[in-house]
Homo-oligomer: A and B are copies of this chain.
């Protein structure tokens, strides 16, 4: 009989939530970047965190996204395991809007589940990880965690009880712009209106319906026509310098559409193929080189894989 595994290394992908019209319900996994996390069964009670990166995240597990997620899982084990040790190498920059905290939380619960012979379902893992997300953003939401764990495009139809629906999608390239500015979640939230016009709500759900149909049919033109947000983007885009110009130039370069990733500041644009995605990258550079804000830009793909165990 092989000895029981005591250590697992995982890679957790960055994710895009609030996919244009799919505010609060749709997300997808990116192929790059990924956080690396090593999780070990430990004789020491609770969760011990060792940071191997430059971000100085809290090592108190109760204040650390990964720590809280793993404490939630540990709690469900009723003392079967004393504790876990996390060795965290963050690559996804915290606060960039591409699911950095979700990656931390998702990584450690998937790793721990592997150490426990995969006794928890993906939905249960999402629920544990959501406890971690709550520390980061003050709200239990799954729109980054679900695609981080499931991979691909996911729909959160309902939060309580949790209802995660994987949405089949055709291959797509993603150009991600990360302007090096900080957007406070509270600010991004505060800018949202509490009420919306009925006619705008109808337009939004028509586009959400079109987007789901377009993804499932593999109909790029329909995906493109449906990538319209009449409710959130008009408000939140003012927090991102030159957003309108970035979008316009991306569309001219052939992007299917795109918008704010999560609550920003990152912006994503979807393309049908790699050549177009690089044209979109060049078009965005053309805009942002003149802005005077440091930025990072890269091309990746929607990944059909979630957290990978190695």
> Any chain B CB within 8 A of the CB of A26?
yes
Which A residues between 11 and 60 are near B, CB-CB below 8 angstroms? 21-26
Taking the full assembly, how many copies of this chain does it contain?
A: 2
- Chain B residues with CB under 8 Å of A192's CB are 198
Question: Are A196's CB and B201's CB within 8 A?
Answer: yes
- Chain B residues with CB under 8 Å of A167's CB are 213
> Any chain B CB within 8 A of the CB of A226?
yes
- Chain B residues with CB under 8 Å of A225's CB are 157-158, 163
**Interface residue count for A (Cβ, 8 Å)?**
38
> Any chain B CB within 8 A of the CB of A275?
no
> Any chain B CB within 8 A of the CB of A290?
no
Q: Provided the pairs A195-B198, A198-B195, A226-B157 are in contact, do residues A165 and B213 lie with their beta carbons within 8 angstroms?
A: yes
Question: Are B165's CB and A210's CB within 8 A?
Answer: yes
- Chain B residues with CB under 8 Å of A204's CB are 201, 205
In the complex, what residue of chain B is closest to A219 when comparing beta carbons?
B165
Q: How far is B209's CA from A25's CA once the two chains are assembled, in angstroms?
A: 9
Q: How far is B210's CA from A22's CA once the two chains are assembled, in angstroms?
A: 12
- Chain B residues with CB under 8 Å of A197's CB are 194-196
Q: How far is B214's CA from A213's CA once the two chains are assembled, in angstroms?
A: 11
Question: Are A205's CB and B155's CB within 8 A?
Answer: no
Q: How far is B211's CA from A198's CA once the two chains are assembled, in angstroms?
A: 20
With A22-B205, A165-B209, A165-B210 already in contact, 4 other A-B pairs whose C-beta atoms are closer than 8 Å: A155-B213, A157-B209, A157-B210, A194-B197
| A residues lining the B interface (CB < 8 Å) | 21-26, 155-158, 163, 165, 167, 192-198, 201-202, 204-213, 216-217, 222, 225-226, 231
Of all A-B residue pairs in the complex, the 7 with the closest CB atoms, nearest first, are A157-B210, A205-B205, A201-B201, A212-B212, A205-B208, A195-B195, A25-B206
